[in-house]
Structure 1
Amino acid sequence: MDSLLKHMVDITGHRDHAMLDVAVISAVHELSAAKQTRVLSQVEGANGPMIRQRACIAGSSATPSTTSPGDVPLEQIAALAACLASHGASASATTDEGDSVLWMPIWIGEKAETILEIVRSDQFAADMVPMVVGIVGVYRNFQNLLDYSERDSLTGLLNRKTFDGQLSRMLQGGGAEALHAPTAEERASEAGQWLVVADIDFFKSVNDRFGHVYGDEVLILVANMLVSSFRADDRVFRFGGEEFVILLRSATSEQAHAIIERFRTNVAAHVFPQVGSVTVSLGYVRVRPGDSPVASLGHADQALYHAKTHGRNRTCHYDDIIATGELQLPASNDTAEFF
């Protein structure tokens, strides 16, 4: 009982999803005497749903791993696929090695984007599953609380505070708090992570001409287009006012530009109720572990400002405008303020 209470205190003491994952698998791993415990994500791949490892603890290791070994098609895990299709509470199977596996989806509404997986070398005891169910319930409720505190109330996007934390952790370079632990395929490619800033052009005139109700509707519709234009694993934030920020992961320079341009053209082609045509300008820069958050934001902002002052409704890459001499490389940007 003392050990269970200690773990409950640890789980509820976190204000971050990544560290919450680590606390939960540490608790379940110890209390169920598991061989391996993992937090998995269900993500959309090019050919259907995929399962991605988010955190893992194995054997007697005291340090959970957040390195992903690579995505696995959901259809290859038949018991879990059937459980998710039927909105089931759990699924179990026996591996070829004789291990017992228990999967417990974390249902939030109609979605189960998070799955807890527990592997034991023998069968689960009768009193063990209710205990794990209780921990999962606390985990689900606390995920809901974190989601609520991390979201912008108007658009439903992640908020500025969440962005500040995620960018800082990403640039610190990995560990349990990394935004994304790259797969082996991603490490072997030229893929990188990108910081994108977007601003609605002439948004003040929308509010002045049509009122704040229509201005809010434009913000909501642009936020929806951000979500649909970028990928499920990218992070989209409302930075404030008519400004948005995207953390785009695992894309080459050409892929990043194509994804960003897809969003820009989607907005330009959309007919907004009453307002009509709306456009966005965007600036982006590649970010790497060890970069300064302030400098990275400053570089993306400079690219956005360049787009704003050179016609609007365009996308500018910071490195490109530096290379062409359109923007002079500053001696230092570490004290720059974003927007």
Structure 2
Amino acid sequence: MTPILQHLVEMTGHRDHLRLEASVLTTLLQLGRNMEVRALEFFFSDSQVMVRPRSWSHRGEVISSECEASVDPARGVLTNMPELTECLKEHCEVALRSSPNSHTLWLPVWIEDKAYACLEVTQNKPFTRRERDVIMGVFQVYQNYQNLLDYSERDALTGLLNRKTFEEHFARITTPSNSEFDQLDTGADTPQQWLAVIDIDHFKQVNDVYGHLYGDEVLILVANLLRSSFRAQDRVFRFGGEEFVVLLRSATLEHAAQAFERFRFTVQEHMFPQIGGITVSIGFTSTMDGAPVEVLGRADQALYYAKENGRNQVRYYDLMLSRGEVKSQITHGEIELF
């Protein structure tokens, strides 16, 4: 079996978006010695379409935002890539930019009529017809398989990850690497993983007064704000209805609280068409101790307290527990779960 076929077999063996993405980039890297590849994601921020790398090559290896050590790559405005901007506008399969020492192909990943991501291939010489044909062939296999995963793992309305993918992502970010075992006794200044449950305040009134069409638009716009407010390595889920969950990676308590407070303020200041202003309530906690259902339960307790005590606020479970505002739940170690 040729190396390219071996990589295609490996690529279609993955059941996870980021691993599939890293695998297709690795496959493309086999096509040329001086090639660089990236996977870009699109999102809205301040009414502009933004773009940022989610996975990329470095010295022949693929680095993913899944890696704990990676920093969030700088975001940019999509209009700085006019060829790609025009391609997305015209719903094209490929965009090309050529200069004397750099030639770039962009391959948008279309899901129905929307493109949430794009593969970028760059090399220092023009692409031959054969190279383009092989790249397009690999890409089409990837896109077909990506669409199958999206159908089962993405929320159809917002494009966010759905609830059934949560436990797998939770397990991945809470399993310490070898270099992290000596950091398990974490303090407030040590980066940790965090989980937040976010709920739109008075969402039922939005549906009752304006109708479900406007309610759906609110959910889509809140999802867009979530994408722009958090980093590529963080994970955002729609759990159903007006409830969202964020897994925030490698942040201190101070930075986590700031990130959730910043998102709350962003929603508060955003003007939603027809409806005007809405707010969200947020409860969050560390993922350091407990099974997914327990961590979710703690964040949910903090969220419930926020909604019962004024809404439009962020509450941290451990601080509330120390103040006696919530009571510790029974853990799975104290009862037998069925």
Same fold, TM exceeding 0.5? yes
- The residue that corresponds to 1:58 in the other structure is 59
How far did 1:54 drift?
1.0
Going from structure 1 to structure 2, the CA distance change for 1:15 and 1:3 (only over 3 Å counts) comes to: same
* TM-aligned CA distance change 1:222 to 1:124, over 3 Å: closer
Question: Could you tell me whether the CA contact under 8 Å between 1:40 and 1:115 is conserved in 2?
Answer: yes
Structure 1 residue 113 corresponds to structure 2 residue 117: yes
Tell me the equivalent position of 2:182. none
Size of the aligned set, in residue pairs, is 305
Give the Cα–Cα distance (whole angstroms) in 2 for the partners of residues 70 and 330 of structure 1.
35
The residue aligned with 1:285 is 285
Q: CA deviation at 1:19?
A: 1.0
**Match in the other structure for 2:226:** 230
Corresponding position of 1:24: 24
Counterparts of 1:329 and 1:14, CA distance in 2: 38
Instruction: Give the distance between the partners of 2:237 and 2:53, measured in 1 at CA.
Output: 23
State the distance in 2 between where 1:65 and 1:16 align.
Answer: 16
Partner of 1:220: 216
Kindly report which structure 2 residues correspond to 1:56-95, keeping only aligned pairs within 5 A, or say none: 56=57, 58-59=59-60, 64-66=62-64, 67=67, 68=70, 71-72=73-74, 81-87=81-87, 89-93=95-99, 95=101
Question: Which residue number in structure 2 is paired with residue 141 of structure 1?
Answer: 144
Amino acid at match of 2:63: S
What is the rounded CA distance, in whole Å, between the counterparts of 1:34 and 1:335 in structure 2? 57
What is the CA-CA distance between 1:297 and the residue it aligns to? 1.6
CA distance in 1, matches of 2:202, 2:51: 40
Q: Which residue of structure 2 aligns with residue 186 of structure 1?
A: none
Query: In structure 2, do the counterparts of structure 1 residues 335 and 262 end up closer, same or farther at CA, with 3 Å as the change threshold?
Result: farther
Alpha-carbon spacing, 1:242–1:73, altered in 2? closer, same or farther (3 Å): closer
- Residue 195 of structure 1 deviates from its aligned partner by 1.9
Amino acid across the alignment from 2:219: A
Partner of 2:245: 245
CA contact (8 A) 1:197 1:246 kept: yes
Gaps of 5+ in 2: 88-93, 179-188
Aligned partner of 2:90 in structure 1 is none
* Contact in 2 for aligned 1:294/1:334 (Cα 8 Å): no
Contact 2:157 2:220 in 1 (8 A): no
Percent identity over paired residues: 33
**What is the 5 A alignment of 1:1-339?**
2-30=2-30, 32-42=31-41, 49-52=50-53, 54-56=55-57, 58-59=59-60, 64-66=62-64, 67=67, 68=70, 71-72=73-74, 81-87=81-87, 89-93=95-99, 95=101, 101-108=103-110, 109=113, 111=115, 113-119=117-123, 124-154=127-157, 156-173=159-176, 194-199=194-199, 214=211, 216-217=212-213, 220-232=216-228, 233=231, 235-248=235-248, 252-262=255-265, 265=268, 281-287=281-287, 292-312=291-311, 314-329=313-328, 332=331
Post-superposition offset of 1:206: 8.8
Contact 2:173–2:249, Cα closer than 8 Å, also in 1: no
> Residues 51 and 74 of structure 1 are in contact (CA less than 8 Å); yes or no, is this contact kept in structure 2?
yes
| Deviation of the 1:321 alpha carbon | 0.9
How far the C-alpha of 1:284 sits from its partner, in A, is 1.4
Q: Give the distance between the partners of 1:205 and 1:51, measured in 2 at CA.
A: 36
Query: 1:41 deviation in Å?
Result: 1.6
Q: 1:238 to 1:43 in 2, by over 3 A?
A: closer
Q: How much does 1:126 deviate?
A: 4.3
Shift of 1:131: 0.6
Normalised by the length of structure 2, the TM-score is 0.68
Amino acid at match of 1:39: R
Structure 1 length-normalised TM: 0.68
- Give me the whole-angstrom Cα distance separating, in 2, the residues matched to 1:17 and 1:93: 32
Gaps of 5+ in 1: 176-188
SS in 2 for 1:247: strand
Aligned to 1:230, the other structure's residue is in SS state: helix
